[in-house]
Amino acid sequence: MRVLVNGAAGKMGAEVCRAVHDAPDLQLVGGVDPKGRSPFAGVPVYANLHDALEMAAVDVVVDFTTPAAVRSSMEICLGKNIPMVIGTTGFHHNELGEWQVRALQENWRAIIAPNFAIGAVLMMKYAREAVAFFDQAEIIEYHHAQKLDAPSGTAARTRILMQEVHQREIPIHSVRLPGLVAHQEVILGLPGQTLTIRHDSNHRESFMPGVLLAIRQIPKIKGVVVGLEHILFTDI
Ligand code: NAP
């Protein structure tokens, strides 16, 4: 599969370029960076997604950009019917629902995951299971100081998944500090006891197996799939 990475010079985009480049069954056809920065030598870089898709043959676009940029990327890819794997966070839950409806109407495909790390997906799954047994729960998410959105997409999604089981207030606390990558604790409380479910991404390589899995599975899905769990735990 021929892969184009939007946001190729960013922290995540550069890591995705390396992972795709190293995958024997995938071909990195280029990256998009508004300032023309290349993640590493030999990767063709385009100034914007529109030009890139005019010039390169692409089977899937991977997007790790910003909440402002990703929406126009989605419009462009939907218009050209090119599937997307999206890691960019900052979507509102209702907005994702609207994209799901449009994608089915227009026969477009995308996988959007707020977190591609297997451990984080399991943390969300276990928090969803545990909340049925506890009176109260709170989420603390910790990220590097440059992160643009708060609360994180992972924390917001964790709360949605937990509230599917038990409608209750689940506060989210956001910590932004240098030295952190991406970490989250779900703390559940009952009289006399707490249960803490914690996940740490200490390096961005933690997200790569999930991103590569999503790229490889994209031909098999329909519409917009939100959450890696739908391709990890289900035989699609
Ligand atoms: P980053 O280092 O700031 O990278 C974002 C890149 O996108 C920057 O290089 C930025 O360029 C570029 N960009 C901005 N507008 C663009 C446009 N219109 N077209 C193409 N590229 C554009 O941020 P990051 O840490 O890599 O994170 C990127 C996103 O991924 C964030 O939303 C973050 O929350 C999310 N994320 C998701 C996961 C997951 O597992 N799903 C994991 C980690 C992070 P400039 O620097 O010139 O603005």
State whether 122 and 80 are in the same domain: no
Question: How far, in Å, from the CA of 11 to the mean position of ligand 1?
Answer: 7
Q: How many domains does the chain have?
A: 2
Would the pLDDT of 234 be above 80?
no
- Are residues 32 and 68 located together in one domain of the fold? yes
Going by their DSSP bridges, the two strands 182-190 and 136-143 should be labelled as antiparallel
φ, ψ (nearest 5 deg) of residue 38: -100, 135
Pick from 48, 50, 66 the residue to mutate for probing ligand 1's pocket: most ligand atoms within 8 Å of its CB.
66
What is the pTM assigned to this prediction? 0.94
> pLDDT (tens digit, 9 = 90+) per residue, 52-85?
999 999 999 999 999 899 999 999 999 999 999 9
C-alpha torsion sign, points 124, 223, 213, 47: negative
Q: What are phi and psi of 37, to 5 degrees?
A: -80, 140
Instruction: Please check whether residues 84 and 126 belong to one and the same domain.
Output: no
Cβ neighbors of 109 (< 8 A, separation 6 or more) are 83, 84, 103, 218, 219, 221, 222, 223, 224
Distance from the alpha carbon of residue 108 to the mean position of ligand 1, in angstroms: 23
The CB of 39 under 6 Å from ligand 1? The reply is no
Residue 201: count of CB within 10 angstroms of its CB: 20
- Domain membership of residue 129 as a residue range: 118-202
Question: Based on the domain organization, do 150 and 183 belong to the same domain?
Answer: yes
Q: Please report which confidence band the pLDDT of residue 92 belongs to, taking 50, 70 and 90 as the band edges.
A: confident
Residues 35 and 109 occupy one common structural domain: yes
Task: Name the residues annotated as catalytic.
Answer: 143, 147
Q: Are 139 and 215 members of one domain?
A: no
Point out the ligand 1 atom lying closest to the alpha carbon of residue 113.
41
- Based on the fold, state whether residues 99 and 134 are members of the same structural domain: no
Average pLDDT over residues 224-232: 94
Q: How far is the CA of 130 from the centre of ligand 1 (A)?
A: 32
Residues 7 and 106 in one domain: yes
